[in-house]
Amino acid sequence: MDCGKARRIEMDKTDDARGIARLAAAVLLTILPALAAQSFRLSLPATHGPLLDKAAAIFTRRVNQRCGAASTARTVTIELRISSEIGPEGFSIANGPRRAIRVTGGDEHGVLYGLGKLFRTSRCEGGVFTAGEWRGTSKPAGSLRGVYLASHFGNFYEAAPLEELEGYVEDLALWGVNALGFSFPAWQYASYDDPAARSNLLRIRAMMRAAKSAGMQVGALVAPNQVFNTAPAELRAKPYPDDWGRRGFLGVNVCPSLPAGHEYLLHVWAGLLNQYRDIGLDFVTYWPYDEGGCGCPQCWPWGARGYVNICRDLSRMARAQFPRMKVVLSTWMFDSPPAGEWEGLTKVLAEDTPWANYIMADAHEDYPRYPLERGVPGGLPLLNFPEISMWGMAPWGGYGANPLPGHLQQLWNQVSGKVTGGLPYSEGIYEDLNKVIYSQFYWDPKRTAIETLREYAESEFSPAVATSVLRAVELLEANHRRKNGRFEKPPRQTREALELIRQSDRILSPQARHSWRWRILYLRALIDDELSNTGGKPQGPVLKDAFAELVRIYHAEHVHTNRVAPPPLLP
Ligand SMILES: [Zn+2]
């Protein structure tokens, strides 16, 4: 396939090494003068920190994955430089001397994000690397450009091999993602010593380490009163109003207004902080509901009383260990139904010293009106928590990729210019495209979901199929919504979407065609079309094979709920 060419990658740090590399390149040029293809070598400044080495390694790994064993012909030098004039996390890509490409970061993070842009605009046609031609300067608008990786139910984050998880975290860094949040699902376990709990923490810690080494901030998402399933019955929280059925309840919440409950919660929190001691927490995001909450007279209204009090106490404890840790107060399902929670939190934060750094808000559908119309409690910066995983389709990821550019754009338009980032909620890799769309909203609020989708398709698949992929995604999104495992309305043009994807499949490189990002999109088009043939019933050999492949991609062989794997096949 690659005609015997082999790409050569060098990362050298000294002039001597560079000289040898240049000589080697010159020799190769002499040997293979007829080939126009490029290989690349990365040139790092003599003095630099570990993040620059990591950025170079991530870029190299991704090019290797995409190009396979490729060409050695014309070597392009990619110079990595730092210039604080560009500003934190920003980058520029420009032509350097002797046909080099210069990627300059405002700091080492900026170099990493610049290499991400260079990677996405570079091409591998026929296994041959061709450096991207995008030139310019780019700086992020949002400060906390995160993703929340939920690891539970046996989903991808709880089940995939560590190497895959670490690689995926690095892939996100190339898109400018600079924060990852993790939640330890204590309600699934008896204690920190529960073997299953240890396994879950092992994975969270591995992803945290990968995130840190890729320059990201890492944080814990915690429902401050949600605990192990062995918590004493007498400490359990009291029921709270959930007339709209939106607040979630797994039955293992403790009341923080009971002195023994308060003490128990501090003890559990100390245990979790201990798990993250060597890694270091950069932020904590507290969660009021789903899970969480207590409806006793001392705690209610939860979002303005019990919740605030316990969050303040946990923060004090955590900052004794991690002094620069930021506190994000989520308002998830506040006033759903109305209980004076937004008003109450505003009042409390106006009177209290500022122990919180951000307010997070969002909802299953439209953004909550209170912070947009009445102001953010405490005058704090606002974050969002967009739902990219579960909306309108269950089981989550059960039908393959769930790209939602139209829906996400409509939600983003409500908060663009008003939030400084956020943590999209992720249940797996099937919504990779939705994560990426948000990473770019946070980077540049004016960048549309469609623009990002095109860059993704050109980069991950091929420029030759980008227009077809955009049209196919439009059709898939139109047929997205399902209820009880059935299309909500009769699906339309499923065959057209499948044909577009099949035609594209035929012209992709082997690497792109076999990549999981392509396969989950292909399978989604195939599954939708087949379901429209079976009248919505999950049955028959086509769906059997498609579902089995999704299970392999997600490592969903051992899920412990029916939420994160394809639906069961009917006989
Ligand atoms: Zn209570």
Question: How does pLDDT run across 169-198, given as a tens digit for each residue?
Answer: 999 999 999 999 999 989 989 999 999 999
The pTM (predicted TM-score) of the whole model is: 0.90
Q: Do residue 132 and residue 235 come from a single domain?
A: no
Is 489 part of any domain? no
Ligand 1 centroid to Cα of residue 309, in Å, is 11
Calculate the CA dihedral of residues 463, 125, 99, 59 and round it to 10 degrees: 80
Q: Which two tokens stand for residue 458?
A: 């050109």
Residues 234 and 366 in one domain: yes
Look at residue 371 and tell me if it is in a domain: yes
Shared domain for 101 and 236, answered yes or no, is no
Which residues have C-beta under 5 Å from ligand 1, the single-atom ion?
A: 255, 257, 294, 296, 299
Which residue from 147, 41, 81, 80 is spatially nearest to 438, judged by alpha carbons?
147
Task: Calculate how far, in angstroms, residue 262's C-alpha sits from the geometric centre of ligand 1.
Answer: 10
- Identify the domain containing residue 94 by its residue range: 9-138
Average pLDDT over residues 308-337: 97
Same domain, 97 and 237: no
Distance 227 CA to ligand 1 centre (A): 14
* Cα 293 to ligand 1 centroid, rounded to whole Å: 8
Compute φ and ψ for 159, nearest 5 degrees.
-120, -25
Residue 354 domain-assigned? yes
Report how far ligand 1's centroid is from the alpha carbon of 249 (Å): 15
* Backbone phi and psi for residue 397, each to the nearest 5 degrees, phi listed first: 75, 0
CA of 321 to the centre of ligand 1 (A): 27
Q: What's the gap in Å between 301 CA and the centre of ligand 1? A: 10
Domain C-terminal end among 326, 356, 385: 385
Q: Which of the four pLDDT bands, split at 50, 70 and 90, describes residue 5?
A: very low
Q: Which residue has the tokens 């139109």?
A: 478
Distances (CA, A) of 147 to 42, 126, 165, 387, 432: 29, 34, 14, 11, 11
* pLDDT, mean of residues 253-268: 98
Distance 226 CA to ligand 1 centre (A): 12
Tell me which H or E stretch contains 20.
helix 15-31
Are 257 and 380 contained in the same domain?
yes
Question: What percentage of the chain reaches a pLDDT higher than 90?
Answer: 83
CA-based nearest residue to 461, from 551, 401, 412: 401
Q: Say yes or no: 238 and 130 in one domain.
A: no
- pLDDT greater than 80 at residue 31: no
> Based on the number of CB atoms within 10 Å of its own CB, is 289 exposed (0-12), middle (13-18) or buried (19 or more)?
buried
Q: Check whether residue 232 and residue 336 sit in a common domain.
A: yes
Cα–Cα nearest to 418, from 454, 468, 367, 463 = 367
Average of pLDDT values for 393-408?
Answer: 97
Distance 374 CA to ligand 1 centre (A): 28
CA of 204 to the centre of ligand 1 (A): 30
Q: Are 119 and 230 in the same domain?
A: no
Question: Ligand 1 mean position to 376 CA, how many Å?
Answer: 26
Instruction: For residue 440, report the phi and psi dihedrals to the nearest 5 degrees.
Output: -85, -30
Quote the ligand 1 centre to 288 CA distance (angstroms).
13
Quick check: bond before 424 cis, omega within 30? no
Task: Establish if 521 belongs to a structural domain.
Answer: no
Same-domain check for residues 127 and 228: no
DSSP state for residue 84 in the 8-state scheme: G
d(CA 397, CA 405): 16
Distance from the alpha carbon of residue 294 to the mean position of ligand 1, in angstroms = 5
CATH code, domain with 133: 3.30.379
**Inside any domain, residue 233:** yes
Q: How many domains does the chain have?
A: 2
Within-domain flag for 58: yes
**Chain mean position to CA 187:** 24
- The rounded Å distance from CA 289 to ligand 1 centre is 13
For 300-367, the DSSP string reads -SGGGTHHHHHHHHHHHHHHHHSTT-EEEEE-TTTTSS--SHHHHHHHHHHHS-----EEEE--SSSP
The answer to whether 147 touches 181, Cβ cutoff 8 Å, is: yes
Least confident of 105-109, 353-357, 401-405: 353-357
* Distance of CA 275 from the midpoint of ligand 1 (Å): 27
User: Average pLDDT in the 86-93 region?
Assistant: 98
pLDDT confidence bin for 23, thresholds 50/70/90: very low
Task: Tell me how far the alpha carbon of residue 295 lies from the centroid of ligand 1, in angstroms.
Answer: 6
CA of 241 to the centre of ligand 1 (A): 13
Cβ burial of 569 (10 Å; 0-12, 13-18, 19+) is middle
Mean pLDDT in residue range 457-477: 97
User: What's the mean pLDDT when you consider all of the chain?
Assistant: 91
Q: Ligand 1 centroid vs 247 CA: distance in angstroms?
A: 16
Please, where are the H alpha helices in 383-431?
Answer: 405-415
Distances (CA, A) of 469 to 122, 144, 285, 466, 499: 19, 30, 36, 5, 11
* Residue 19 maps to a domain: yes
Q: Quick check: 352 pLDDT over 90?
A: no
- Among 385, 407, 438, the domain-final residue is 385
- The b-or-e profile of 361-384 (16+ CB within 10 A means b, else e) is bbbeeebbebbeeeebbbebbbbb
Cα 297 to middle of ligand 1, angstroms:
7
Same domain, 236 and 356: yes
Whether 13 has a pLDDT exceeding 60, the answer reads: no
Which domain-ending residue is among 88, 106, 138?
138
Q: How many CB atoms lie within 10 A of CB 320?
A: 10
Distance (angstroms) between ligand 1 centre and the Cα of 316 equals: 20
Provide the pLDDT confidence category of residue 423 given band limits of 50, 70 and 90: very high
C-alpha of residue 240 to centroid of ligand 1, in Å: 10
207 inside domain: no
